[in-house]
Amino acid sequence: MTNTRRFHILLVEDSPTDRLIAVQALKSAPVQTDLHFAEDGVEALAYLRGPRDAENVRPDLILLDLNLPRKDGRAVLREIKSDDDLRLIPVVVLTTSNAHEDVRGAYALHANSYMTKPVDFSEFARSLSDLVNYWSEVVTLPMR
């Protein structure tokens, strides 16, 4: 069953090139998405903890780079997963590192998935679609 609900994604990425690649991949996914952006860890946490309105909605998914200025992705992931209001938001680490310690470390901090860049567009779109459908059909998401 395909979901027609709009899926809000927070993309935490400091590289304009990688941000553009992720945007293009998301456009090819068979799900309707609204993208929100943060360029560093401080901005991401401010967005997540900020007041909710039409411009600042709670994301259904966070795509998180590990190597970020001001506060790296590991620290952001640690804070998200230790915050009772944020910890259930799925976090997909989307980074260039395939180092065993980074992968293991991300999962130790309760990342929901780990993908290395550059990402295969079709694989990424398919994975996102599967995640959206699973999360929307099996897990109850908060209503907007």
Which pLDDT tens digit goes with each residue over 80-139? 999 999 999 999 999 899 999 999 999 999 999 898 887 776 777 777 777 767 766 655
Q: Residue 110 is part of a domain; what is its CATH number?
A: 3.40.50.2300
Residue-level pLDDT at 136: 64
| Residue at 143 is within a domain | no
DSSP symbol at 68:
-
Tell me which amino acid residue 19 is. Answer: R
- Does the pLDDT value for residue 11 go beyond 70? yes
Measured in degrees and rounded to the nearest 5, phi and psi for residue 36 equal -125, 145
| Residue at 140 is within a domain | no
Count: domains in the chain: 1
| Residue at 142 is within a domain | no
| Residue at 105 is within a domain | yes
Cα separation, 6 vs 60, whole angstroms: 9
Domain residues for the domain of 28 are 7-135
